[in-house]
Amino acid sequence: MPDSAIPHPVSSPISATARPLYLGGEIYRHSSYGKKHPLSIPRVSVATDLVRAMGWLDESAYIESPIASAEQLARFHDRAYIAAVAQAERDQRVDVATAQLYGLGKLENPVFPEMYRRPAIAAGAAILGAELIRDGGIVYSPASGTHHARPARASGFCFFNAPVLGILALLDQGLDRVLYIDLDAHHGDGVQDAFHDDERVLTVSVHEAGRWPYTGILTDRAGGHARNLPMPRGLNDTEFRHVVEDAIVPLACAFRPQAMMIQTGADALADDPLSLLSLSNRALWQAVKDLVGLAPRTFVVGGGGYNPWSVGRAWAGIWAVLNGLDPTVPLSPAASEVLRGLTWDRREGRNPPSRWFDRLADDPREGDIRAEVREAVQHIAVSIGDL
């Protein structure tokens, strides 16, 4: 797609404010990766509709996300790759050589009508969000958690790496201590590798052990600028709280970040089909609550999540937490209507349990803290002295 065809490149006309700002986009309401893809479901639009239906979103805090220009994407991505994604959107096909070279047109990263615009808007939100917190504050962009994309290759449903572009925009402001915390069920490999040799960025990833992309083992330090906490299947709320309170919070306090990005993939929740972790959305909300005050600039992004009910409810609750609101309150009639209007063409979605659409909060999923979780936390605690 030529630059002349890209509307409204990222700019920063809005100054940062003390209240959280919400970066959304109407493109997510009707865009889909295709009927058979895990991202056939609505996610950002569900979260946005829920927070509006609950009366939690003052429209003056809502910003329609801009689209990143090719020049802005090239801050991290190879120009030939950017052009190839744009060409694939125009042609709605890729040739064999392009598919092999860039990972495009496969089941994982398919050709679909908005395959350039959708990730470029998520990237634009990340770049703008970094500017909006230049002087401090909180920004939330549920679409900007695409953490797997490589400089010249699509990976893991991610075409452009919005978290990397957002962090680079923060670094461009002169910051030299940026903390990236990834709570997705899948290892944040693209972000970790992007900052492998950059001591200004500390990446921390909590993810399911043995899950694609099969990276992020406990001892992986990525040049000394990463910490990884691979978790066993069935991770419960008690274990997750132990990880946050006794590993991630101490790391953050020792690192003293000037800015923090929290990636809140909802695929670690028990109702998600693409992981075997077992968290409630309450655990994710509590983690955000525990972390958000540890830096003067906080950027919260989404990530994975492949059940429209669980991801929409989780991300709506995060916005409540960021605003000091209680996400466990009863649903408003309008919010209940949003959830009852969802469909999901999977076995689990054909007869959904009432808890998916009659409340926002999951039941807590507490349990014992297993030895492998304690050992991982202890390993990270010992490493704090290396920061």
- pLDDT tens digits, residue range 78-137? 999 999 999 999 999 999 999 999 999 989 999 999 999 999 999 999 999 999 999 999
Mean pLDDT calculated for residue range 364-375: 98
Backbone angles phi, psi at 321, to 5 degrees: -60, -45
Give every CB contact of residue 125 below 8 A, 6+ residues apart in sequence.
23, 25, 65, 66, 141, 143, 144, 162
Residue 93 included in any domain: no
Q: Which two tokens stand for residue 279?
A: 């968290």
Cα torsion 282, 317, 115, 160: sign: negative
Residue type, 77: H
Tell me, yes or no, whether 352 lies in a domain: yes
Statement: residue 56 has pLDDT above 90: yes
Taking the C-alpha atoms of residue 31 and residue 202, their distance in angstroms, rounded to an integer, is 33
188 occurs within a structural domain:
yes
Nearest to 249 by CA among 294, 298, 201, 185: 294
Task: Give just the sign of the alpha carbon dihedral 123, 124, 125, 131.
Answer: positive
Closest alpha carbon to 268 in 251, 285, 246, 252: 285
For residue 96, being part of any structural domain is answered with: no
**Based on the structure, what is the number of domains in the chain?**
1
State the Cα–Cα distance between residues 71 and 375, nearest whole angstrom.
44
Could you tell me the residue range of the domain that residue 34 belongs to? 11-64+116-386
User: Residue 192 — pLDDT band, cuts 50, 70, 90?
Assistant: very high
Q: Which three-class secondary structure state does DSSP give residue 337?
A: helix
* Average pLDDT of span 269-273: 98
- Tell me the CA end-to-end span of the chain in Å, nearest whole number: 43
Q: Is residue 223 very low, low, confident or very high in pLDDT (cuts 50, 70, 90)?
A: confident
Contact by Cβ (8 Å): 27, 88: no
**SS percent in the chain: helix, strand, coil, step 5:** 40, 10, 45
Whether residue 61 contacts residue 20, with contact meaning beta carbons closer than 8 Å, is answered with yes
Residue 98 resides in a domain: no
Residues 309-335 have pLDDT tens digits of: 999 999 999 999 999 999 999 999 999
What is the band of 366 on the pLDDT scale with cuts at 50, 70, 90? Answer: very high
- 214 CB contacts (<8 Å, ≥6 apart)? none
Geometric angle at alpha carbon 337, from 334 and 340, rounded to 5°: 155
Residue scoring higher pLDDT (197 or 6):
197
SS3 at position 155: strand
Q: In which order are the strands placed within the sheet that holds 201-208?
A: 62-64, 21-24, 137-141, 297-301, 259-263, 178-182, 201-208, 226-231
Identity of the amino acid at 9:
P
300 strand-pairing partners: 140, 262
Question: Residue 50 is encoded by which pair of tokens?
Answer: 């829920």
For tokens 């958690």, name the residue: 145
Domain contains 70: no
Residues 6+ apart with CB under 8 A from 174: none
CATH number of the domain to which 160 belongs? 3.40.800.20
CB atoms within 10 A of CB 193: 18
103 in a domain, yes or no?
no
CB 65 within 8 A of CB 128: yes
Residue 93 has φ and ψ, to the nearest 5°, of: -165, 160
DSSP state of 11: -
| 332 found inside a domain | yes
The reported pLDDT for the residue numbered 214 is 98
Structure tokens belonging to residue 228: 């990884």
- pLDDT at res. 93: 98
Element (H, E) at 192: helix 189-194
pLDDT (0 to 100) of residue 347:
87
Q: Do 369 and 378 meet the contact criterion of CB atoms below 8 Å apart?
A: no
- Residue 307: band (very low, low, confident or very high) from pLDDT cuts 50, 70, 90: very high
Phi-psi group of 382: left, alpha or beta (phi > 0 → left; psi -120 to 50 → alpha; rest → beta): alpha
Contact 214, 236 (CB under 8 A): no
- The pLDDT value recorded for residue 18 is 73
Check residue 245 and report its DSSP letter: I
Q: Is the pLDDT of residue 216 over 70?
A: yes
How many Å is the maximal CA-CA distance in the chain?
A: 57
Average the pLDDT over 195-205 and give the result: 97
